[in-house]
Amino acid sequence: MFRRVRFPLALFVLVLAFAAAAKAEPLREGAAPVLAADGLGRGTIALDGPWQFHLGDDAGWAQPGLEDATGHNGWEQLTADRPWGVQGHANTIGYGWYRKHLSLETASASAQDVSLLVPAIDDTYEIYWNGRLVGQLGTMPPHLVTYKGVPEQIYSLGPARSGVLAVRVYKFPWGSNDDGTAGGFEGVPRIGSPEAIAAVKGALDFHWLRGIQFRFALTSLYCLVALFSFFVWLRDRSQRLLFWTGVYSLAVTMETPLVFLRLQLSYAVAEVGRLVVTGTREVALWFLLLWLLRMEDSARLARYIRILAVVVFTANLIDALLVPMFPALLSARAYEVGDAILTAIYMPPQLGVVVIVIAAFVLGKRLDSTRWVVATLAFLNSLFYFLLNLFAQGTRFTHWTISDRMDAPFLTFFGSPIGMRLILRTLMFLSIVYAVIRAGIENRRRQGELEQEFQNARELQQVLIPEDQPETPGYALTSAYKPALEVGGDFFQVIPVGGGETLIVLGDVSGKGLKAAMAVSLIVGMARALAPLIADPGKLLAEINDRLVGRLQGGFATALALRLSAEGACTLASAGHLPPYVNSRELEIPGSLPLGLAAGVVYESIPFRLEARDRLAVFTDGLLEARNEQGELYGFARVLALFAAKPDAQAAMNAAVEFGQDDDITVLTVQRVVTA
């Protein structure tokens, strides 16, 4: 009983609803349908149902008297709820015409104006009412101006009456990531009184605004971060991390007005701005990560990043300039091929973030968990964005839907659709802000420590490295010292011990900074106190070692003790230090433990002799371990060639510094001289 009653009742309701809104008049076979709209003024009516459609262009197709019956002179029927690309005309560009026959009657006896609400139409269009141009968006070739992503437009048709609504459309050529389904109407137009259409437009604008509120909120936060970062950077230009954070945040901020705000910017202007901002965002993120992951000292990697930045900006800019060059300078085919080639050039560098993060991992950078979180999220963002663009390329031919599924929202938050790209970008933003704050705090703390070290260094420097060397009878002595920090762990002392003899003590304490300097001051004090009492270098080192055990807090020190007589007799002892060079020959010395590791160590004293013009060079491992931009060590072969040329201490040190200093460097040379 219920099923037999329900169907007639539903049918009756549908008939009443259809009659109140719009009805199609009876047509003879093949004639264009007429949409009859009664009672305009009470609401709006959707211009749905079939529209007459024809590809190509003819000015006469705007006229109401045109014979446009289906199947006659190439006219067919399409609906306005979907583009022509999904209604049998995929991959079609150029001109197309829509026509709709209307019979309009207003709710009141007096003539009333009728407004037309037009959703997005790809890409440029003109609206004709009974052959009269009543509105347009953009201009047609040869002076083509197109708009994309603009809101719904309202046009007035004048007083209500029957007639033909014609829409002339021009579809722009395809980009490399277009799927070929666009063209023409993307939504159903509506007609009604100006007040009713304005109400519908307001509701649509509110729906759009509600759907994008989360992105607006995120953009506002990026804007605040950009302003704060630039403000702090301008006060301290050494804060390069904040500079790149500001550039990145500003680029993300500018994406919103260019892409999401639906400003009525021409496609050419919007595309140039979008691609420049996108390139800036990617490059800024590369340099931000270089500083955040503490890889800014890698000159080779920084050079590659600069090269990639030039490639990205150049390819993006040329690609954007193709838009205004069509159709005056480029054919549709040339535009599509050029866009595909340039996209293939600037897409691979989008993986720059991935390369930087992998490099940080391979190089074993010691970073706190906050920085690794940023690196991980930046890695995921970059990879997701690259794959999204990659799978979107050539979809006109592959018909893949992977990119659409990846970018589809999977939840709604207070009316805002949320997808994976927005979630990843939000998480990365939060992590970057937190990491930059942490880095700022760490940097201020470090600056305070360095300032304190610098203050203490001035008091300790005279003890660590003597400025003026005492007379060394029978020898010409040169010295050079360059710490990696304000205070280093290297030391040397030249101590006259009577009888025309001189004691030289040179060494390197493990670690750097003030802690190493304190250990150096302890060793230097012991050496100067014991030198007049102990003549043998080996016994001197053994005595210093026994006094150091347990006092270096887990550290150690390598050292050489060298005793010189005015007649050229020399005695050398080593505590785990690098062997010295005599001319181009390395002295052979026995292996031994550094100072401070174990008590009771015996250090052997090795006698040798320096003849006239012989030059002996002693140095710390900062010379041997200098590292260039390619990561190569200075090494033993270069050290041997260096001292074979008999340089003075300053020249030897300069050679290592130019190669690439990585540690404290101390060099001391002693040349035997004989006076007549």
At 555-609, the pLDDT tens digits run 899 999 999 998 889 999 999 999 999 988 899 999 899 999 999 999 999 999 9
327-352 mean pLDDT: 89
**Torsions phi, psi of 35, nearest 5?**
-90, 115
**Helix, strand, coil distribution of the chain in percent, nearest 5:** 45, 25, 30
Domains and CATH numbers, the chain: 24-193 (2.60.120.260), 212-446 (1.20.1070), 465-672 (3.60.40.10)
144-156 mean pLDDT: 91
Q: Give the global pTM.
A: 0.62
Contact 349, 308 (CB under 8 A): yes
Indicate the burial class of 77 (C-beta count within 10 angstroms; 0-12, 13-18, 19 or more): middle
Least confident range of 8-12, 289-293, 647-651: 8-12
DSSP summary character for residue 172:
P
150 band by pLDDT with thresholds 50, 70 and 90:
confident
| The pLDDT of residue 221 is above 60 | yes
Which pLDDT score, from 0 to 100, does residue 503 have? 93
CA distances (Å), origin 356, targets 244, 352, 373: 15, 6, 14
H or E element at residue 279: helix 267-292
Q: What token pair was written down for 357?
A: 């993060």
Which pLDDT score, from 0 to 100, does residue 458 have? 57
Q: Are strands 94-106 and 34-40 parallel, antiparallel or unpaired?
A: parallel
Contact 470, 661 (CB under 8 A): no
Contact 184, 141 (CB under 8 A): no
| The pLDDT of residue 18 is above 80 | no
275 band by pLDDT with thresholds 50, 70 and 90:
confident
Q: Give the other-Cβ count within 10 Å of 127's Cβ.
A: 23
Taking the alpha carbons at both ends of the chain, their separation in whole angstroms is 136
DSSP assignments along 212-252, one per residue: THHHHHHHHHHHHHHHHHHHHHHH-TT-HHHHHHHHHHHHH
Which pLDDT score, from 0 to 100, does residue 574 have? 95
**What is residue 69's three-state secondary structure?**
coil
**Torsions phi, psi of 38, nearest 5?**
-105, 145
| The pLDDT of residue 611 is above 60 | yes
Distance CA 222, CA 209 (A): 19
Which pLDDT score, from 0 to 100, does residue 540 have? 94
Distance CA 674, CA 252 (A): 73
Q: Quick one: CA torsion of 385, 387, 393, 399, rounded to 10 degrees?
A: -120
Which pLDDT score, from 0 to 100, does residue 25 have? 37
| The pLDDT of residue 88 is above 90 | yes
Structure-model confidence comparison of residues 121 and 36, the more confident one: 121
For the four alpha carbons of 444, 445, 448 and 449, in that order, the dihedral sign comes to: negative
Which pLDDT score, from 0 to 100, does residue 265 have? 87
524-542 mean pLDDT: 91
Mean per-residue pLDDT over the chain, rounded: 85
Structure-model confidence comparison of residues 349 and 115, the more confident one: 115
Q: What token pair was written down for 160?
A: 């209500």
For the four alpha carbons of 184, 189, 194 and 195, in that order, the dihedral sign comes to: negative
Work out the percent of the chain whose per-residue pLDDT is above 90.
35
Residues 6 or more apart from 311 whose CB is under 8 A from it?
A: 345, 346, 349
Which pLDDT score, from 0 to 100, does residue 40 have? 67
481-486 mean pLDDT: 74
Q: Give the other-Cβ count within 10 Å of 574's Cβ.
A: 28
Q: What token pair was written down for 648?
A: 């003075």
Which pLDDT score, from 0 to 100, does residue 26 have? 35
**What is residue 94's three-state secondary structure?**
strand
Residues 6 or more apart from 337 whose CB is under 8 A from it?
A: none
Amino acid (1-letter code) at residue 271: E
| The pLDDT of residue 28 is above 70 | no
Indicate the burial class of 260 (C-beta count within 10 angstroms; 0-12, 13-18, 19 or more): middle
Which pLDDT score, from 0 to 100, does residue 16 have? 30
17 band by pLDDT with thresholds 50, 70 and 90:
very low
Beta bridge partners of 604: none
| The pLDDT of residue 3 is above 50 | no
Amino acid (1-letter code) at residue 590: P
Q: What token pair was written down for 49?
A: 């149902």
| The pLDDT of residue 452 is above 80 | no
CA distances (Å), origin 551, targets 441, 560, 598: 32, 20, 11
Contact 497, 527 (CB under 8 A): no
Distance CA 500, CA 533 (A): 16
Which pLDDT score, from 0 to 100, does residue 73 have? 87
Work out the percent of the chain whose per-residue pLDDT is above 70.
90
Q: Give the other-Cβ count within 10 Å of 442's Cβ.
A: 12
H or E element at residue 104: strand 94-106
Least confident range of 54-68, 88-102, 135-149, 428-442: 428-442
Length of the chain: 676
| The pLDDT of residue 331 is above 80 | yes
Q: Where are the alpha helices (DSSP H) in 552-631?
A: 621-624
Least confident range of 248-257, 437-446, 587-596, 644-653: 437-446
